[in-house]
Amino acid sequence: MIEAREGVTAPGVYETTDYSTTVDADYTRERSSRDVLTGPYQGAWEFLIGGSGSSDQDFDSNNVTVDVTLGYYLTDTVEVGVRQNVSVAGNEDDTSWNGATTGFADYVFDFDAFRPFVGVSLGYLYGDDTNDTFIGGPEAGVKYYLKDDAFIFGRVNYDFLFDSGDEIDDNFEDGRFVYSIGLGINF
């Protein structure tokens, strides 16, 4: 153990009078990337809540959605999880409910507090105003950490609708954009 300690920089790590840093040999806590990075780390959970909207390819049909996500970090940069969207669309004559439950896998780029991500999702779309169908496609977005474990986010994905045709270009043409903004925490 170092006797001459000028200031403690972290548990078990000390600055000496000659400005070198020494680790206390008796200190055995395992360090994780959480000790040095803003944002998520391997083994962290993530909870997001946001509002989103979806539009057809021509933005002719729109609705409002509540978006809830639970994710888990397999590594500091790879997240997997499940997302639930519930939307309400209405007009003077009718109100309808729709939902989508999707699993996702994202790669999160580490730019300190600024964390862009890209990934894929696969799930099921169901409800009053839609044909129940499998959906899937690419997604991208950004998280900006306001604190080590709290952030704002924006995300957009394109869902291919797999019941709309036999050809992949039919699925793309009949797909939908889904966009979301909100708040999240890591724990």
Greater model confidence, 38 or 105: 105
Q: How far is CA 103 from CA 50, 54, 134, 165, 169, in A?
A: 17, 18, 12, 23, 23
Q: What is the pLDDT of residue 34?
A: 46
- Considering Cα of 160, then 45, then 32, then 30, what sign does the dihedral take? negative
Q: Give residue 19's pLDDT.
A: 57
Task: Please state, rounded to an integer, the average pLDDT across all residues of the chain.
Answer: 81
Q: pLDDT digit string (tens) for 18-59?
A: 555 555 555 444 444 445 457 889 999 999 999 876 667 776
With a threshold of 0.85, does the pTM exceed it?
Answer: no
The pLDDT tens digits of the residues spanning 114-149 come to 999 999 999 999 999 788 999 999 999 999 999 999
* pLDDT tens digits along 73-84: 999 999 999 999
What integer pLDDT is reported at residue 1 of this predicted model? 45
> pLDDT grade, residue 150 (50/70/90)?
very high
Comparing C-alpha atoms, which of 108, 106, 33 is closest to residue 77?
108
Asked if residues 136 and 122 have their Cβ atoms less than 8 Å apart, the reply is yes
The yes-or-no verdict on residue 172 having pLDDT over 90 is no
Q: Which residue has the tokens 């806590």?
A: 29
Pick the CATH number of 45-186 from 3.40.605.10, 2.40.160.20, 1.10.4080.10, 2.30.30.40: 2.40.160.20
Q: In whole angstroms, how far apart are CA 31 and each of 12, 28, 40, 95, 149? A: 11, 9, 14, 53, 17
Length of the chain counted residue by residue: 187
Using the predicted structure, report yes or no on whether residue 14 has a pLDDT greater than 60: no
Q: Where are the chain's structural domains?
A: 1-30, 45-186
Strand-strand pairing, 150-161 and 133-147: antiparallel
> What distance in Å separates the CA atoms of residue 57 and residue 163, rounded to the nearest whole number?
16
